[in-house]
Structure 1
Amino acid sequence: MTLTTDTPYALSAPPASLSEPLEGSLKVDIALVGAGFSGAIAALMLARRGVSVALIEAAEVGHGGSGRNHGQCIPVFGYLDEKTLPPEGFVLLRDSGRKVFKTIEELGIACEPVQKGWLNAAHDAAGLERARAAHAKYAGLGKAGAFLGPDEVEALSGVRGYLGGWVHRDGGHLNPLAYVRGLAGAAQAAGAALHVRTPLTAISRQGGRWLLKTPRGDISARAVGLTVNAYGDAAIPPRLRRSLVPMRSYAIASAPLKPDQRRAVLPGGVNFSDTRRDPMFFRVDESGRIITGGLVELRRGRLGGPTVAQAGRRLARLYPELEGLGFTHHWSGMVGISARQRPAIFEINEGLWALAGYSGRGVPTTMALGRALAATLVDRAEGARLWPHDAPGRIPAAALIGFGVQSLRGPLNKLRDRV
């Protein structure tokens, strides 16, 4: 079966709202660079406040990580900590998964949303202990019910042999390309100016305002928010690019499952992940495709043949019905890891702010951080009540670190699973 390097999301996503490249000069209160989840959410929040805002995108809406991720909303974060986050920010992040699906409903975004939870299944005794610890944290926050026994995990997943597990109630999945297109369209409808195929070519401070140059126009703005995450090019200030460890993630999608296969795989409609150090995580989309992936390694994720062969073997061990399953799509995208391994909002220069570092949790984190950035761009004190304003990180040899981690992490984790 031939693999395409496109995502399958455009097969069912509604078309993006009409937008054209910027021509001429534009003067606004706030300019945003990067029309992914966070840029679109920030633009929507600002427009609703009556702030004049322009959102520019170098390619098309969803061209970067927002339209290329696995489509999972997993609101589980190592940095969800009342000791390090302001109270309002803690609540914002805690409820970010629920807010994703409420926003989809509120805006009427046709993005195949399914919110039946994220299942974390324990594969051995050590994994059971880790799962119980995570469950205790999120049950204490009202995000999980009772810990599940083996039979309950089997009923949700269709897989025998797991020792137990738990479900985060706010988890779910969606078509990410359709979702980001819907968010950008909503921002436009609220009054934001959206310009696609409008790359930033230069940015400078002039007369107390920021001037953003593009190929056929320019934007004058009081404040600027950079929401490109790991997709920044040479026109993006180095302080943002050097604050992230860039890594490449891959995803694959199967051919649509046959009816008997679909009944067997994840009958509870949840997203699935187990407690292996090299986890098996996947979901089933509306068309019946299994979507899974991970970080690109030297072979897995980089080469299509070995990637789908290994995924097929792992899935068939869980579901014998999937023996011989074919795969149709194999694609990749960039992930940004911040210095503190939590999303960072920081001021690069007076009025020039950046938001980056979602660390593989972009769907729920951007719902919280997009709002926090919008507030920051209007009033830094208001923004600080929603999220800490970190100093820009400085990570030496960030690209080399990213390559090393993503190349070695998978093989080392597979070894740890065998010990």
Structure 2
Amino acid sequence: MTDQIFRIPPYALTALCAPQAGPLRGSLRVDVALVGAGFSGCIAALELSRRGLSVALIEAGEVGQGGSGRNHGQCIPVFGYLDETQLPPAGFALLRDAGRLVFDQIAELGIACDPVQKGWLQAAHSAKGLERARATHARYAALGKADAFLDPEEIAALSGVSGTFGGWLHRDGGHLNPLAYVRGLARAAQAAGARLHTRTPVTGLRRGRDGAWTLATPEGEITARKVGLATNAYGMGAVPARMRASLVPMTSYAIASAPLQPHQRAAVLPSGVNFSDTRRDPMFFRVDATGRIITGGLVELRRGRWTAPTVAEQGARLARRFPELQGLVWTHHWTGTVGISARQRPAIFELEEGLWGLLGYSGRGVPTSAVLGRAFAATLTDPAEGARLWPADPPARIPAGRLIGLAVQSLRGPVNKLRDRLS
């Protein structure tokens, strides 16, 4: 059911106001210029400033206007690229602890973003799903991130969902208000000495004979020894085509309900966990600090694109798990862009001498940025130091990435629904 549907996230309703910043006017000379004030750009600016470097952080719109303020707000520290054979030991350890890093930094900086770290719960919906869940659990239990495998009754106690085959809990998972989180990171970067300028798109980018880079903006320019591009799938304008050609952009959607009634809130995820199941067409959701259910996925031909069928389908899926949610009212429906790299893992790479890019979170931006923001700062300080945290390897170019993204989004939903029916 819908009343009035807002096409923006509800996060600004409870987030502290944006940090004081405005367009760059005039000339500025710094050690490092960072483009993109999302999670990664803000964390890198904070880390570089703490190292004593002068930093300019610029954002074409407002802080959190891109993916960092439009995602689902889930911190799910489970990664296909958590691979000790592909990552340096220090980087592997950071990624393993990415969920803890997020919430530890929130506590350290005192960011008011409604953080809840009660874990990420994966419930097996079938016998085959149980096999997959047990395999994933075994891997993360060996890393010290999960306790014993849970039986159906324990899943029901944590989530309120009955009829599962069991599951497991990643103890470092959780959720937060992502807009409030990125605004808090930006404030912390400012407090550490970084110069933040919003509404400052890059209109030109050139390297001088002395090796320094100049970033032209509508009302000024920045000269820097090194430049870090942290725009991910939101790179526009003067961001090099090499960055844009390294991603398959896909559109994600999210919907948020009206705040639950007390009896509904008591039934839905009473322990505060994030929920996901093992379906190929997964159902994942959380309940935020105001009692809203937030769920979503990739935009398909109908689901995610059009509000009425989206809330009807997702509302029915939730009501099958929680009868208390029959007739749930939905108030918000919004979209964002996800950047998928060829290796489906983030990449740090040098486009030209002193010009570095960071991209490719593939839907795990909250926990992964806690690692990659640090690795990016280390790389911009000293590439050899950065390589000890994350490999500096250019991602493959992806011809016709936008067309590939549209094709995958159109086919993925129906194919996964069919696979679920056949399994």
Verify same fold: TM over 0.5.
yes
Matched, 1:102 2:82: no
Corresponding residue to 2:22 among 20, 23, 29? 20
Please give the residue correspondences for 1:100-179 in structure 2 after superposition, counting only pairs within 5 Å: 100-179=102-181
> Alpha-carbon deviation of 1:234?
2.9
Aligned to 1:346: 349
**Matched residue of 2:249: which SS?**
strand
Match of 2:317? Answer: 314
> Is the Cα–Cα contact under 8 Å of residues 341 and 395 in structure 2 kept in the other structure?
no
Q: Quick check: 1:300 aligned with 2:303?
A: yes
Aligned to 2:11: 9
Residue in 2 that maps onto 1:29: 31
User: Post-superposition shift, 1:385?
Assistant: 0.3
User: What corresponds to 1:330 in structure 2?
Assistant: 333
Aligned twin of 2:403: 400
Alignment partner of 1:248: what SS? strand
Structure 2 unmatched ranges of 5 or more: none
Q: Could you tell me which amino acid in structure 2 is paired with residue 268 of structure 1? A: S
Is the CA contact 2:5–2:333 (under 8 Å) kept in the aligned structure 1? yes
State the distance in 2 between where 1:253 and 1:33 align.
Answer: 30
Check conservation: 2:251, 2:335, Cα contact below 8 A: yes
CA deviations on 1:2-25 (whole Å, 9 max, x unpaired) are 211011000000011101110000
**Alignment correspondent of 2:229:** 226
Asked whether the 8 Å contact 1:120–1:165 carries over to 2, the reply is yes
Q: What residue is the counterpart of 2:243 in the other structure?
A: 240
Contact 1:282 1:292 in 2 (8 A): yes
Structure 1, 383-392 or 181-190: larger mean CA deviation = 383-392
Pairing partner for 2:387 from 384, 388, 396: 384
Q: Secondary structure at the match of 2:206?
A: strand
Cα deviation, residue 218, structure 1: 0.2
Task: Report the residue type matching 1:345 in the other structure.
Answer: I
Alpha-carbon distance in structure 2 between the residues aligned to 1:272 and 1:392: 32
Kindly state the Cα deviation for residue 241 of structure 1 after the two structures are TM-superposed: 0.3
- Counterpart of 1:358? 361
Match of 1:409 among 395, 404, 412: 412
- Secondary structure of the 1:340 match is coil
Pairwise CA distance, 1:358: 0.3
Contact 2:202 2:237 in 1 (8 A): no
One of 184, 188, 191 as aligned partner of 1:189: 191
Q: Which residue of 1 aligns with 2:85?
A: 83
Where does structure 1 lack aligned partners over 5 or more consecutive residues?
none
* Matched positions, count: 419
**What do you get for the CA RMSD once the two structures are aligned?**
0.5
* Amino acid paired to 2:4: T
Q: Cα distance, 1:47 vs. partner?
A: 0.3
| Alpha-carbon distance in structure 2 between the residues aligned to 1:122 and 1:353 | 41
Shift of residue 182 of structure 1?
A: 0.1
Assess if the C-alpha contact under 8 Å between 1:348 and 1:392 holds in 2. no
**1:15-44 superposed Cα distances (whole Å, 9 cap, x missing partner):** 111011100000000000000000000000
- What TM-score results when the alignment is normalised by the length of structure 1? 1.00
Q: C-alpha distance in 1, partners of 2:334/2:410? A: 17
1:192 and 1:136 map into 2 onto residues whose CA distance is 42
Distance 2:161 2:41 in 1: 39
Q: CA deviation at 1:383?
A: 0.2
Q: Find runs of 4+ consecutive structure 1 residues off by over 4 angstroms.
A: none
Percent identity between the two aligned chains = 74
Q: CA deviation at 1:407?
A: 1.4
Q: Which amino acid aligns with 2:68?
A: S
Rounded to whole Å, the distance in 2 between the matches of 1:202 and 1:234 is 8
Residues 206-242 of structure 1: CA deviation (Å, up to 9, x unaligned): 1211000000000000000000000011311000000
Equivalent runs, 1:22-61 vs 2, <5 Å: 22-61=24-63
Alpha-carbon offset, residue 406 of structure 1:
1.2
Larger displacement relative to structure 2 (406-415 or 133-142): 406-415
Inter-partner Cα distance in structure 1 for 2:49 and 2:193: 6
Measured against aligned partners, the alpha-carbon deviations of 1:255-309 in whole angstroms (never above 9, x if no partner) come to 1000000000001110000000000000000000000000001110000110001
